[in-house]
Structure 1
Amino acid sequence: MKRWNMVDFRYHLVSLVSVFLALAVGIILGAGPLQNAIGDTLSNRVEALRASRDDAREKFDAANDELKSSNAALKKAGEQLVDKTLTGRRVALVVMPGASDGEITAAQESLTLAGATITGRMDLNAKYASSDGAAHRKAVAGQVGPALGQPQDAGPDDVIAAAISHILRKGVNDGASAPLVAALTAKGDALVKIADLKQPADAVLVVAPKELRLANASKAKKAAAAKVYTQAFKDLSAKGPTAALGADGGKNDLIVSLRGTKSGSTVDHAGGTQASINTPIAVASEILGGHVHLGTGQSAESPIGTRVDVAVPGAAGSNAANGNG
């Protein structure tokens, strides 16, 4: 029994000695012959990674500079493409809930650069399409329908869209517009907000958001509201020249829904250089009686439109006035 205990002890002793010997050898090699080799290998790898990073950064900067140059060149060419094409023309804006201020401003600037005058804007609020406000819209439609000569079987939303079209295209100072404005902007029950719009517009530009901004609305209610706003665009297009400007044209973007009505003209990628060129072209095309769908989003026909000149002959700044028409 004692002999087995002795063997056990010796076995463990040899094992422990082996472990410490291996550890000592590792320390000696690491601090000696292998130290430089390991250090050199790690240093080389760090230097290679640093060089790769710097190379990638240089390529990114070069690509970014090239993109900026291309964008600047496209913008310059675009300005020449639409220059004076809308001189003497008046355009009214219709803004749907959720459209960004930046996109609205960019749209106004692009139209102004093409020579157009912005008559003002009308914002459609959440009540305009809310399922909870359907009864109120029906009452408003009943109030304004007869003055517009709408058929008795016309839907409430169609009648309201007709009222909006009249205000935009005739101006708020038109005699028939006054009761329409009063009905649509009634305190506490307003469906729209009006800014200026004193002058009649030759065309309407609808600015649509990527997604409707409707407070506390469920997904189903947003989908139902989107249908109402889409129908509004279709109704406005039926009444006169109407174009829509929207987001990047992805599968669920509202601009794709508007484009699907096969009415009016549409432009995607609002706020971008392409849209700044395409927006005046789309509006001009509408005034001329044509429909175009421009951009790189779903169902777009062309990334960039072709020049369409609908400047009023003799208007200050038009090609005709300058002897170029």
Structure 2
Amino acid sequence: MVDFRYHLVSLVSVFLALAVGIILGAGPLQNAIGDTLSNRVEALRASRDDAREKFDAANDELKSSNAALKKAGEQLVDKTLTGRRVALVVMPGASDEEITAAQESLTLAGATITGRMDLNAKYASSDGAAHRKAVAGQVGPALGQAQDAGPDDVIAAAISHILRKGVNDGASAPLVAALTAKGDALVKIADLKQPADAVLVVAPKELRLANASKAKKAAAAKVYTQAFKDLSAKGPTAALGADGGKNDLIVSLRGTKSGSTVDHAGGTQASINTPIAVASEILGGHVHLGTGQSAESPIGTRVDVAVPGAAGSNAANGNGNG
């Protein structure tokens, strides 16, 4: 049995230690601890303020650089597309901000936007393959397509005709009816009354297809990629996409070796490169601009397209890729 005196000594030791701690904390150590903590707080505050100043300075410099680049870019593309008409083809998932930015950049270069055609999920879904085959059977003869042409190629040819001839063209009416049939529409058309000299395809970083598996999305991406290739074969076609990462759709379009491409949609860089890519296509050349995978140059060089009807203008300036 433990002696009572052992407990007493233990209790006295505890209280003595507590008393010594209180005395030292309130006396000699108080100022030292307080000064140390205060110094650390001040150092952290100074470090934070310094980091904030550096961030603000870098942010201001970036804004100034972007403003200068934008101003230089406006001069670089000014009047390069005067009198030219451009139609937009929008793939599922492309953002409204990027579409608006593309329209503004083309307009600043002097182009007129003739309208817009949105390709919907049914355009490329695995489940809609039978329907697309039936539509191709309807529109193929009107386009003079070979009987062995693939359904998706025939539909892309129909889209190209509508874009480049306008919805008021006599041959466009049955094509529009087949592609926009109520309940089975493959596309949505806004305006497009005027024929376009060039087509700009706006692609998303990732296709937005509801309830689609990874395999179905990959299959759909191939259909949209083929559509870009087919449109390019019919006339001047450029594509605008995301940041050009390994799995971006724009990289897939770029890999077709047809048409022109621009990455980093919505940015200052793309606002300069988009009119340059379209102008290059009208003159029969292909460029791949941006900083993404397989891009040839961060910024393109000025391309002047002759104004329709002006001296020196000719049929080659707007009738396809040479």
Q: CA deviation at 1:149?
A: 1.2
Pairing 1:101-120 to 2, within 5 Å after superposition: 101-120=96-115
Give CA-to-partner distance per residue, 1:232-254, whole Å, 9 cap, x none: 00110111110000111112111
Q: CA deviation at 1:158?
A: 0.3
Bigger CA drift: 16-25 or 118-127?
16-25
Q: CA deviation at 1:314?
A: 5.8
Q: CA deviation at 1:323?
A: 27
Which residue among 179, 183, 193 is the counterpart of 1:184?
179
Bigger CA drift: 306-315 or 295-304?
306-315
Give the conservation status (yes or no) of the 8 Å contact 1:92–1:120.
yes
Q: CA deviation at 1:214?
A: 1.3
Q: CA deviation at 1:138?
A: 0.2
Q: Point out the structure with max Rg over C-alpha.
A: 1
2:14 partner SS: helix
Structure-1-length-normalised TM-score: 0.93
Give the conservation status (yes or no) of the 8 Å contact 2:282–2:321.
no
Q: Separation in 2 of the partners of 1:242 and 1:223?
A: 23
Give the conservation status (yes or no) of the 8 Å contact 2:235–2:321.
no
Q: Separation in 2 of the partners of 1:191 and 1:324?
A: 27
1:7 partner SS: coil
2:76 counterpart residue number? 81
Runs of 4+ in 1 over 2 A off after TM superposition: 6-16, 313-325
Give CA-to-partner distance per residue, 1:299-321, whole Å, 9 cap, x none: 11111111011131666999999
Which residue among 59, 63, 66 is the counterpart of 1:64?
59
Q: Separation in 2 of the partners of 1:224 and 1:324?
A: 28
C-alpha spacing 1:240/1:20, structure 2 compared with 1 (3 Å): same
Q: Separation in 2 of the partners of 1:133 and 1:242?
A: 26
Aligned positions, number = 320
Q: CA deviation at 1:7?
A: 7.0
Give the conservation status (yes or no) of the 8 Å contact 2:234–2:320.
no
1:193 partner SS: strand
C-alpha spacing 1:7/1:107, structure 2 compared with 1 (3 Å): closer
Bigger CA drift: 20-29 or 276-285?
20-29
Q: CA deviation at 1:174?
A: 1.2
Q: CA deviation at 1:16?
A: 2.4
Q: CA deviation at 1:112?
A: 0.3
Q: Separation in 2 of the partners of 1:317 and 1:270?
A: 33
Q: Separation in 2 of the partners of 1:319 and 1:36?
A: 88
Q: Separation in 1 of the partners of 2:2 and 2:168?
A: 113
Q: Separation in 1 of the partners of 2:219 and 2:191?
A: 30
Q: Separation in 2 of the partners of 1:171 and 1:147?
A: 16
Structure-2-length-normalised TM-score: 0.94
C-alpha spacing 1:183/1:85, structure 2 compared with 1 (3 Å): same
Q: Separation in 2 of the partners of 1:255 and 1:315?
A: 35
C-alpha spacing 1:316/1:118, structure 2 compared with 1 (3 Å): farther
Gaps of 5+ in 2: none
C-alpha spacing 1:314/1:177, structure 2 compared with 1 (3 Å): closer
Which residue among 7, 15, 24 is the counterpart of 2:19?
24
